[in-house]
Amino acid sequence: MGASHSTVAENVTAIQERVDRAAARAGRKASDVTIVGISKTFPAERIREAFELGIRHFGENRVQEWESKAPVVEGLAATWHLVGHLQRNKALRAIRLFHTIDSLDSLPLAEKLNKDAGEGRRLPVLIEVRLDPTVTKTGCDPAELSRLAEGVLLMPRLELRGLMTVPELTADPEEVRPFFRRLREIRGRLSRQLDWLMPELSMGMSRDFDIAIEEGATQIRLGTALFGTRQTK
C-alpha cells in the first residue's frame, strides 16, 4: 500500500481520512468503526507510537510472538486482540495475554477457552467464518456456524460478540465486496435465529477496508496501512 516510507503519524492521518470518507458514503458514523492495528512482525515500540496517536486496539496473529512483545507495552490502556488461528494447547496462554479472541473457529477450541478462562472471567470472542470455498484457510465453515454459535452461547465464560473473516487476496479489492456483504447477512440471520445481538463485524484489511466499512465493518484490521510493509522472513 506504499506506506513503507511514511511515518506512523502520517499513516494514521491517511487512514482516518479514508475511514471518514467510507463511513460518509455509507451513511455511517466514522466513530462506529474501530481501527485494530495489526502489529505482527513489527517491534513493540511501533505499538506504543500508534497508541500515542490514539489507536487503542491492537491485534497479533501468534501467541508466541505476542508473548515476547507484551511486556514492552504493559500498562498501556489498550485492548489486545488475537486474530490468528489458535491451537487448543495454547488456549490458556492466549487467555492470559489477550482481551478478546477474534478467531474462534471450532467447538473444541471454544470448550477449551471456556474451561481455561477461569472463575469470574467473561472472554469476548468473535467467530471467524471461512467464506471462500476455494481456499483452505482457517475459520468455521458457514454450514457449521450455527452449531458453533449455539454452543458458545451455552458457555458461561465466553461472550459471543460477532463475526470475523479473512478473505483471500484478490487482484481487485472490489472482488471481496460480496464476501463482506455475505458476512453481514450471515450475522443478521444468525442473530435472529439465536435471538442474540452480535454487534461486531471484523472485516477489511489495508487494501480493502473502505469497502468493508461500506458493507458494515465495525472493526478493521490494519497492518501495512498503519505500520508499513512487513519484512518477510
Task: Give residues in contact with ligand PLP (CB under 6 A).
Answer: 38, 40, 61, 83-84, 166, 205-206, 221-225
Q: Which is nearer to ligand PLP, 130 or 221 (CB)?
A: 221
Shortest distance in whole angstroms from residue 36 CB to ligand PLP: 8
Shortest distance in whole angstroms from residue 120 CB to ligand PLP: 29
- The radius of gyration of the chain's CA atoms, rounded to the nearest angstrom, is 17
Half-sphere exposure of 57 (CA within 13 A, CB side): 17
Shortest distance in whole angstroms from residue 202 CB to ligand PLP: 8
Q: Which is nearer to ligand PLP, 7 or 193 (CB)?
A: 7
Tell me the residue nearest to ligand PLP as measured from the CB: 223
Whats the size of the chain, residue-wise?
233
Q: Which is nearer to ligand PLP, 114 or 206 (CB)?
A: 206
CA-CA distance, 194 to 216, in Å (whole number)?
20
Q: Which is nearer to ligand PLP, 206 or 218 (CB)?
A: 206
